[in-house]
Structure 1
Amino acid sequence: MMGKGSVSHNTRTFSAKNVDKERSKYNMEFCHLNIKKVYHELFDDALERYNAKQKRSDRKIDDYYEKIRQSKQEKLFHEVILQIGNKDDTNAKSEEGQLAKEILIEFMEDFQKRNPNLYVFSAHLHMDEETPHVHIDFVPFIRNSNRGLDTRVSLKGALSEQGFKGGTRSAKEWNQWMESEKQELSKVAERYGVRWKQLGTHNKHLSVLDFEKKERAKEVAKLEKAVSNNKAELSHIIYQQVLAENEMEKIKQENEAVRQETTELSATNDLLREQADGLIENREKLMSDNKALEQHQKKLQQDIEKMADSKVALERNIYAYDEDARWQLPEPTTLMSAKTYREKNAMPLVERLKEIVKSLTIKCVNLMVQIKQLKAKVTKQAEDIDFYKSKVHQQYVKLEQLQEKADDFERVKQYVGVDKIDMIVTNARELERIAQSEKQQNRAYGMGR
C-alpha cells in the first residue's frame, strides 16, 4: 500500500503504542540517507543548468528541495509499505513471521535495480509490530525533461519511464507499478513455498485504516510537542550561546588590552636592559678614563718633580759659579800684558760663560714649552672631569627613571600574575618570530622571482 511517509517512525526515532520496543532490535535498516543530500545529488547539476538558461532572476530556483516541499503538485518523497499475511496467520513472533522476514529481505535486494527512477533513501523492515512489513521511501525522478529542470521530481513520469503507462482510473501508473511489485514479492515467496492468496480487493479494512490514522495523528502530536520543546530548548541554548559569545568577546578585549600593555611593558623592559647595558659600558669607560687620568696625573707629578730637581741642580750650578775656581777670573801677574791676560784668562772664561748661557737659554725655552703643554693638559683634564661629572649625573637620572619603570612593571606583574605575563610575553615573542619568519620567506620568494 501507499503510505504517507514518516521517517522518524520508520527509524524508530519515535515509537507508537503498537510498537513492542523489546523486539525493535530485530528490525532491519536497509538504508537511511539524508533526503536533502539526496536532492543535492540528484538535482544540483540540473538546477545549475536550468538557472543558467534563465534571463529573469525571479525565475531562478534557489533551493529545489524547498520548491518541491512547498509544491502542491509533487511530494518530496513517496512511501510504499509491503506486508506478507496478517497478525493471525503471519504474526511477527511466529515461525511464519520469521519466514516472511526472509522473503522481504530477499525482495529488497533487487528493488532498486528494478526501479532505477525511484531513488530509495530510506528502507526499514519492522519486526516489532504485529506483522512483518517493510517501509520503502523513495524520490521519483525523470531525466531529459523538456519542462523545468531536465532532471526533476515526477512520480508519474518516473513510473512511465519504467514502462507503466496510465490507462483507466483503476489502472493508473501507481496501481500498475504496485501490482508489478506484488508479483515480484509473490515470486520470491513462492521460492520459499509460500503462495499469494488474492482476496479480490486492494482495499484494507476500514477499521485498520482508521486505527492507523489515529496512531499517525498521535505520532504527529507527539512529534509537534517534541519539536515545540526542542524549539524552547534551542532558544535557551541560543540565548546562553549569545551570552557566552558576549562574555568571550569581553574576555578577548580584556586579553587584547593586557596583551598590548604587556607588549609595551616587554618593549620597555627590553629598552631598560639595553640602557642598563649602556650604563654598564659607560661606567666601565668612565673607570677606564679615570684610570688614565690618574696615570696622567702621576706623569705630571713626575714631570713636576723633574722640574724641581732641575731647579735644585740649577741652584747648585749657580752656587758653583760663585765658589768654583773655574769660574773665577784670576789676578794678572806682574809682567803679563793685557793682551796675554785677555787671551789666556778672560776669553776662555767668557767662552765657557757663553756656553752656559746658551744651555740655560735652551733649557728655559724647553721648560716654557713644557709648562705651556702641562697647562693645556690640566685645562683638558678639567674639561674632561666636568664632562664626566655631567655624564654621571645624566646616568644617575636615567637610572632613577629606569628604576621607576621597573617598579611599574613589577606592579603590573603583581596585578596580572607572573604566569599570565610570562604566557603573554611568550605569545608575543612567538608572534614576532612568526612575523619575522614570514618576512624572510617573502623576501626569499621575491629574490627567487
Structure 2
Amino acid sequence: MMGKGSVNHNTRAFSAKNVDRERSVNNVKFCHKSIKKVYHELFDEALERYNAKQKRSDRKIDSYYEKIRQSKQEKLFHEVIFQIGNKDDTNVKSEEGQLAKEILVDFMQDFQERNPNLYVFSAHLHMNEETPHVHIDFVPFIRNSKRGLDTRVSLKGALAEQGFRGGTRGDTEWNQWIESEKQELALVMEQYGVRWKQLGTHNKHLSVLNYEKQEREKELWELQQTITSSREDLLDIYDRQDEARERIERTRERKERLEDEIDELFATSEELHSDTEALKETRNQLLSDNEELEKQQKKLQRELDKMVESKEIMEQNIHAYDEELRWQLPDPGALMSAKAYRDKKALPLLEKLKELVKNLTIKSVQLAETVKRLTDRVDTLESQVSYLREKTRDQRDRIEELEEKEINFEYLKDYLGKSEVEGIVEYARSKEQADREKERYYGRDR
C-alpha cells in the first residue's frame, strides 16, 4: 500500500496511540539517512553541470532540495508499506506474526537491488503495532534527462527506466510496480511455505464505508499520479520550447557570425582583386626597372672598359718615357757650350715634360671624377636593387597571405555550399551598392 510518508513516525521519533512502546525493541531498522545528505549525494554534481550551462542567473538553482520541497509537481520522497495478513490471522504476538517478520526481512534484502532508480534512505519494520509491516521511504530519480538537471527527481521516469510503462488510467507505472513487488513478496512467502491467498480484495473485513473511502483514496492517488505525469509532460514541452528558443538564438548568432565572416571574406576578395592588380602593376614596374638597370649596367661596363683602355694607353706611354729616344736627354756634343745645350736640348725636353705632366694631371682628375661618379652610381643602383628585393619579398608575403585567405574562402564555400556563399556574396554586394546609393543620395541633399 502507499503511505503519506512520515520519517519521524517510521523511526518512532514519536509514537501514535496504536503503538505499544514496550514492543518497539522488536522493530528492525534497515537503513536511515538524512534526506538532505541524500539529495547532496544524488544531485550536487548534476546541479553544478546545470548551473554552468545557464546564461541567465534567474534560471540557476541554489538548492535542488528546496526546489523540490516547494514544487507542486514532485515530492521530496515517496513511501510504500508492505504487510502480510491482518491483526486476526497474522498478529505480531502470534507465531504467524513472527514468521511474517522473517518474510519481510528477507523481502527487504534485495529491494534496493531490484529498484536501482529508487534510492532507499529510510526503511523500518514495525513490530509494535497489531500486524508486522515495513515502511520504505525512497527518492525516485532518473539519469541522462533531456530537461532540467541531467540527474533529477522523477517517480514516473524512475519507474519507466525500471521497465514499468503506464497504460490506462488504472494501469499506471505505480500500480504496475506495486503489483510487481507484491509478486516478489509472494515468491519469498512461498519459500517459507506461505501462499498468498488472493480473494479479489483483502479488505472485506473493513466496513463498507471505510472500504469505499479507501477505494476513493486509491482513485485519488491514481488521479494525482496522472496529473503529475501530465505536469511532467507539460514541463517537458516547456523545456523543449526553451531548448528550441535557445537553438534558434544560437542559430541566429551563428548566422550573424557567418554573415560577418562572409562580409569579411567578401572584403578580402575585393582586397585580393585590388592587390592582384597592384601586384601586376608592381611586376611590370619591376620588369621595367630591371631593363633600365641592365642598360645602366651595360653603360657602366663600357665606361669601365674605357678606363681600362686609358690605363693601358698610359702604361704604354709610361713605357715609352723610359725607352724612346725622344723622351731621353741626349749627351752634349764635344764642341757644344752649356748655354747651347740648355737652350737646344734641355729646355725643349723640359717643356715637353711639363706639357705631358699637365695633360696627365688633367686626365688623372677626370678619371678620378669618373671613378667617383661611377662609384656613386653603383651605390645608387645597389640601393635600388636592395629596395626592389625588399619590395619583392613584401609582395611575396602579401601574395601568400592572400592565397591563405582565398583557401579559407574556398573552405567556406565547401562547408556552406557554393550556391549559398554566392548568394550571400551577391546579397552583400547588393547591400553595399544600396548603401553607397543611399549615401550618395543623402549627400546630394545636403
Q: TM-score, normalised by structure 1?
A: 0.46
Higher-Rg structure is 1
The alignment's TM-score, normalised by the length of structure 2, stands at: 0.46
